[in-house]
Amino acid sequence: MARALNRRFYRFSVGGLADVAEIKGHRRTYVGAMPGKMVQCLKNVGTANPLVLIDEIDKLGKGHAGDPASALLELLDPEQNANFLDHFLDVPIDLSKVLFVCTANVVEMIPNPLLDRMEVIALAGYITDEKMHIARDYLEKTTREACGIKSEQIALQLVRQGVTNEQSLKVSLQQGAKQLREKSTEEPTQIADDGPGGKKLEDGNSHERATTTTLTESEQAIEVSLHEQPNGTATEESEATSHEHLVEQLEADKVQPTLLSSDGIATTDQPVDSKVNIKTSDVKDVKVDNVIEKVIVDVSNLADFVGKPVFHAERIYDQTPVGVVMGLAWTAMGGSTLYVETALVEQGEGKGALLLTGQLGDVMKESAQIAHTVARAILLQKEPDNPFFADSKLHLHVPAGATPKDGPSAGCTMITSMLSLAMKKHVKKELAMTGEVTLTGRILPIGGVKEKIIAARRSEVKTIIFPSANRRDFDELAGNVKEGLEVHFVDDYNQIFELAFGSNSKPQI
């Protein structure tokens, strides 16, 4: 940012900072007194309009030496920082031309008066496509160079489900190899001996056999690598890269005659004279000793190199059973799926009750009570003769049990889970929902739209239900994030009921 704005750059971290003197400086009466960070900043950059990065502002401390967050109020207030007073200099300093950029992981940890002086720009995590691009174009190259591995020593095969199948890739590569073989044998190729005179050969048969052998080995290597891939799938990038590499290799073999020296190193130093003819028997067989072993890294052996996967699949059910509905949640680490499970504990006249587990916070417990009330009202509309909620003690659980959870956005998911159990109906497959619910069944907006969509795509969800108030947030997302998803925006829970169960769904006995 500083480079783009043509400004000098200065950075300091305030994580764990508990002394106001670090911001505003010490008074000169103290031994070892020093000016504050902003005076040191202006001294180092030598300009009045630098870009200053204040890192980890959500982790400010507080101690006996004062509250640094309160000291930053004057620093970040554009109405006051034109006369910022440093205790060491004891003269006003004009900081109105400074551009401040602060970073934080959890915005809620920033004091509200300080947050009011900022404009919040949320940076969401990378989606899968972006991670693959970064790994393929940057991380793989950087890591390979750091380990001293040449590009020709390793082949990384990026495999992704549903892009192409094994047979189509194999046929494409074999057809390309056949065409290149025919093209490479149309013209005679010269092979020179390693003798002092550099004998020339215009008989193309030997090179034709060598080319054919090379092509056959390449095809075998391609077939082996394909068989190692799970489900016989590969990316379009892998197909194009393998095909281009094969074309370049065969074109190089055709255009440049390969001269093998005694130490096994291929060279092309000798000129080729097509007028000199010798017999094929005059060409000596040269043993190549310095052959570099090539390692192929794919899904089947990736764990041997980098270890077992850190994260596991979040999807628990292929088809959710009765009483289970998939919701969506988000944290500072990104989005995730959130299942809501409801089970019947006991049934009897007047035993209606609700038991909650799963380390739910106060807001989420209140949301569950609201969901229970709304579910009773909706069941009374849909099935007036069904006394399920009045006579049933229910147990509502939100896995995983060791993870604390809070927030109101699971309200519609809880209602759907209870109604699914009461009516003995499955929720539609590949459906996820999120939204806060009022006692009258209205759906209120939620946060973390992009993170929740990324979590849904990761769990192969096809249909998502969002509150209508979040339509603007959805429209601002990039096309590759929204691609392949069917998103419905609702204002009332009755709309969710139709989307989740349908009008013609039958109870499951």
Q: Could you give the CA distance from residue 20 to residue 65 in angstroms, rounded to a whole number?
A: 6
Structure tokens at 500: 């989740």
Catalytically annotated residue among 24, 392, 452, 459: 452
Residues 6+ apart with CB under 8 A from 393: 344, 345, 346, 347, 351, 352, 353, 354, 355
β-bridge mates for residue 489, sequence order: 466
Which of 234, 221, 250, 81 minimizes the C-alpha distance to 157?
234
Q: Is 452 a catalytic residue?
A: yes
Edge-to-edge, what's the strand order for the sheet holding 51-55? 9-13, 51-55, 99-102
CB-CB contact of 264 with 286 (8 Å) = yes
* Helix runs in 269-382, H state only: 302-306, 362-382
Q: What are phi and psi of 507, to 5 degrees?
A: -60, 150
- CA of 338: how far to CAs of 99, 117, 317, 335, 361, in Å? 40, 34, 12, 10, 15
E strand map for 373-441:
392-397, 431-433, 436-437
Residues, the chain: 509
Which of left, alpha, beta for 151 (phi over 0: left; psi -120 to 50: alpha)? Answer: alpha
369, 438 contact by CB (below 8 A): no
Alpha carbon dihedral 473, 478, 480, 485, in 10-degree steps, equals 20
Q: Backbone phi, then psi, for 473, in 5-degree steps?
A: -65, -40
Measured distance CA(501)–CA(173) in Å, rounded: 47
Q: How far apart are the first and last CA of the chain?
A: 62
In 126-230, where do the E strands start and end? 154-156
Paired with 100 in beta bridges are 52
254 is catalytic: no
Of 367, 409, 417, 459, catalytic = 409
- Catalytic residues, by residue number, are 409, 452
